[in-house]
Amino acid sequence: MALQEKLDRFKKQQEKCQSTLTSIAAKAGPSKSASIQKRTPVAASPLTNPRTPGPPVKFSNDTERLQHINSIRKGPVGAQIKRVIDLLLETRQAFTPEQINEACYVDVNSNKAVFDSLRNNPKVNYDGKRFSYKSKHDLKDKNQLLVLIRKFPEGIAVIDLKDAYPTVMEDLQALKAAGQIWLLSNFDSQEDIAYPNDPRAVIKVDDELKQLFRGIELPRDMLDIEKDLQKNGMKPATNTAKRRAAAQVQGISSKPKIKKKKHEISKRTKLTNAHLPELFRNLGS
């Protein structure tokens, strides 16, 4: 009898709980009940066809380029500056930091060391917005080049001119071919020096002065010549001591070659080939 009472009491509790859930669902509305239904897991039917797989995900083939850019930006500051200066030299154009980044992958804005080094570099001009190449001499064409060389009668090093503008080396050869300049090599440094050859500057030397100059006997050894020049306050164009020391290190003989005196035929020469008179036409009677 007690068991039956417990069962009846349990049924009443069940009915009460069911009525409570029904009233809650009615108050929540259809959207809530639908969401509850969505949350209810539904067992997948084994008869349904599996979904067809979508297209495979494609990754970019630009991995090598990205690695190259990363290696440039993580490289030494000096290497990045060289890339930028080479770009400015080759193009002779002005670039913003963003354009430099696009052209040679050097992020100037994000690297303060690179930015400051470029701004203070003597080969770079910065106007506050753009970077451009700055040569030692601001030249545009062959005429300006000739005017500059004529301002240096003692000569100007070609190395100081070669980056003035793209065709400067061709113009130097053209001026040399036209006889307007001289291109001579420095004996010690092997660097070319450009000298003006102005046809308006005609120099006449007196014959007596020429004879006096040619009558001075010079020392046979270049060391003695250089010493004499230094005694008279002049800087020799050669450095024989240095050259000979380098030659000894390399195992090359540095002794000057003695030129043999060429024997010329004179009136006192005993002629043994008298039957060949055409050999002696230059002799006087």
Which residue ranges make up each domain of the chain? 62-133, 142-196, 207-246
Better pLDDT: 242 or 202: 242
CATH class assigned to 62-133: mainly alpha
pLDDT 10s digits, 270-279: 555 555 555 5
CATH fold of 142-196, please?
Arc Repressor Mutant, subunit A (1.10.10)
CA-to-CA dists, residue 220 to 31, 223, 262, angstroms: 116, 9, 17
Neighbours of 97 (CB within 10 A): 20
* For the chain, the helix, strand and coil percentages under 3-state DSSP, each to the nearest 5: 45, 5, 45
- Rounded CA gap, 140 and 10, in Å? 107
Instruction: Work out the average pLDDT over 186-202.
Output: 75
- DSSP assigned state of 192: E
pLDDT 10s digits, 107-166: 999 999 999 999 999 999 999 999 999 999 999 999 999 999 999 988 999 999 999 999
CA-to-CA dists, residue 190 to 184, 227, 248, angstroms: 9, 22, 19
pTM for this entry: 0.47
Same fold, 62-133 and 142-196: yes
pLDDT at 235: 81
Q: What is the mean pLDDT of the chain?
A: 78
- DSSP assigned state of 129: S
pLDDT 10s digits, 41-91: 444 444 445 555 555 545 455 788 888 888 999 999 999 999 999 999 999
pLDDT at 275: 52
pLDDT at 157: 92
Share of the chain above pLDDT 70, in %: 69
- 168 sits in which H/E element: helix 168-177
**Residue with tokens 């500057």, as numbered in its chain:** 201
